[in-house]
Amino acid sequence: MLLNFSYKQQGYGLGVEEIRSLPSEVLYTIDELWTNYSNGRFGLRIQQHIWQKVKLKSRKSNKKSIIFSFRYIISKFIHILSKVDDEESQLDNQNQSKKDWYCFAKQVGWYKENKWIAYEKLTFELSAAKGNLPYCRGWWKNMRYQYEPKRFSELMSKLERSLNEYQ
């Protein structure tokens, strides 16, 4: 359904640009349906809440270890003097996003025992992990999975804008 609104052909997935161009009303409506008909167990809004908690938790733990890190202090100083650190910083952010993505996926039941759970093997019952559905990994099928954290982060940002627009 989202592919139709993004003007993508069937069999292709949603990239960051397609996610950004999704109509807010469509995303909001899909979320409302999931949230209402699952009694608040499933939906993009539920996933967004879990995603925010994961990111907040990882940022707090990073700050604790970084505060006492000599390398961190030195890298901030070097950052002012060097562009090379920008690339390193971007890489650190990508690695953190990937860690957040895996942590999120574990919490919602998409990733277990170091393996991704196929769509067909998901639990389609209210007893499933909170936030288990919708399974948005299928929305970017046939695309490079290394960019999943970026796509999901963009989806959560787009959802936030949509919710702000319609609430």
Structure confidence by residue, pLDDT tens digits, 119-140: 999 999 999 999 999 998 877 7
| Tens digit of each residue's pLDDT (9 = 90 or more) over 67-117 | 545 565 666 566 666 555 555 566 667 788 899 999 999 999 999 999 999
CA distance 109 to 132: 6
Listed by start position, the domains of the chain span 2-6+14-54+92-166
pTM recorded for the entire structure: 0.78
Looking at the structure, give the CATH architecture of the domain made up of residues 2-6+14-54+92-166.
Answer: Orthogonal Bundle (1.10)
How far is C-alpha 16 from the chain's CA centre? 12
pLDDT band at 2 (very low <50, low <70, confident <90, very high): low
Burial environment of residue 99 by CB neighbours within 10 A (0 to 12, 13 to 18, 19 or more): middle
Q: Output the CA torsion 83→54→58→111 (10° steps).
A: -90
Q: Can you give the pLDDT at residue 11? A: 60
